Amino acid sequence: MKFDEFKLNEALLEGLSYMGFEKATVIQEQAIPQIMQNRDLIACAQTGTGKTAAFVLPILHKLATSERTGVNTLIIAPTRELAIQIEQQIQGFSYFVNANSVVVYGGGDGSGWDKEKKALTSDTDIVVATPGKLIAHLKMGYVKLDKVEHLILDEADKMLDMGFLNDIQKIISHIPEKRQTLMFSATMPAKIRQLSKQILKNPVEISIEMSKPAEGVLQAAYLTFDAQKTPLISTLIEDKPDFTGILIFTSTKSKVSEILRALKRKGHAAEGISSDLEQNERNEVLTRFRSKQTRILVATDVLSRGIDIKDINLIINYDVPGDAEDYVHRVGRTARGTATGIAITLINEKDMGRFKRIEELIERKVLKIPLPTELGDGPEWNTKSTFDRRGFKPKQKGKKWNNKDRRKK
């Protein structure tokens, strides 16, 4: 379905044409008409399916064809990276539309507070915010959300996982009950269902191929001992000289630094992102990665959602994520839209049970590739591991364990 078939505002269609957008994705095709009809919506769609445009475009259409005063649309996102990405897309789509937006997020040096305050107390059309920073402004008593007509929760499952439920409920208490509410989520656990019943009115439900990596992703895995992981990723990178965008995920900040040191010793152009960096530093690192100045980016799961970078050729999971859904989000950074990409996971003996749960979730067995001969043999595939979900060995019969013992294991 082409965008001009939605009967969107002409200025908005002109902006879409300028950006090279012509045909809608499945989530856009199903969601846009419902949103334009002012229906509440709960949509489940995997990452990379174009769900940001699915809610941004109909909102901009409404703004282009109506008068408004005060904040009209409030979009809540779990991370600053996602909030920034959404606002950037709004700016692109609204280039020829008389609509303005601002992004409100925490973690910076505080220099943007006055700008955010001005936006939250004036006639800003669209505010994109992270829950914590918006709550900080709300506590000051000057925020004006009484004109909000559209509330959008993006990555709602992630927000609940991060403990933002109370913040979301407090934010909702500041906006009118008469509004259109849209909830987008990559997964649909029971807690999302419960929240939707509280805040949505007779919603339309849309579910698009949830919890599965895109068809264009070639998935594979290596069974490795921890000592083999860093030499292996160096070999994988050297074997792919034509790959200009390589993203390595690991679960801890300390591993980011460890991997970076090893790659730089080999002469690779690599940088890292974790929660230790200030927002302006993150932006600079991402800009260099997008522009191909940096070939390799090492990151924690802070980047598994909320970045949209084209031409990522290779995803390497240095370790298996603790949550099977996070695997889908990590892998979703490659093969965006109709592109193709490779996702490789390194599995140690502790993580085999976790990876089996991932395979059950995505409903397929991932190919296990033999290690390069120079690295020696890795562990044998054994999903009946003696390690529990957290990577600890269970208590042995007749022996008392304490937390210190567990940490050592």
| Topology annotation, domain 217-375 | Rossmann fold (3.40.50)
pLDDT of amino acid 186: 78
Dist CA 246 CA 195 (whole Å): 37
Q: Is residue 219 a contact partner of residue 343, using CB atoms and an 8 Å limit?
A: yes
CATH of 3-208, one of 1.10.20.10, 3.10.180.10, 3.40.50.300, 2.40.50.140: 3.40.50.300
pLDDT of amino acid 403: 42
Q: Is residue 271 a contact partner of residue 260, using CB atoms and an 8 Å limit?
A: yes
Dist CA 137 CA 380 (whole Å): 54
pLDDT of amino acid 397: 44
Q: Looking at the whole model, is its pTM more than 0.85? A: no
Q: Is residue 271 a contact partner of residue 243, using CB atoms and an 8 Å limit?
A: no
Domain boundaries defined on the chain: 3-208, 217-375
3-state SS assignment for residue 18: helix
pLDDT of amino acid 150: 97
pLDDT of amino acid 40: 97
Check if 3-208 and 217-375 are the same fold: yes
Residues of the chain with pLDDT under 50: 338, 386-409
Residue type, 330: R
3-state SS assignment for residue 88: helix
Dist CA 16 CA 6 (whole Å): 13
Q: CB-based burial of residue 79 (10 Å sphere; 0-12 exposed, 13-18 middle, 19+ buried)? A: buried
The alpha carbon dihedral of 16, 19, 20, 25 has a sign of negative
pLDDT tens readout for residues 60-78: 999 998 887 889 999 999 9
**CA distances to 95, 133, 248, 252 from 108, in Å:** 27, 10, 25, 21
Structure-token pair, residue 377: 């043999």
pLDDT of amino acid 207: 86
pLDDT of amino acid 390: 43
pLDDT of amino acid 211: 54
246-249 vs 314-317, strand pairing mode: parallel
pLDDT of amino acid 119: 87
pLDDT of amino acid 57: 96
Q: Is residue 272 a contact partner of residue 260, using CB atoms and an 8 Å limit?
A: yes
Q: Is residue 147 a contact partner of residue 68, using CB atoms and an 8 Å limit?
A: yes
Dist CA 262 CA 234 (whole Å): 8
pLDDT of amino acid 396: 44
Structure-token pair, residue 207: 């579910």
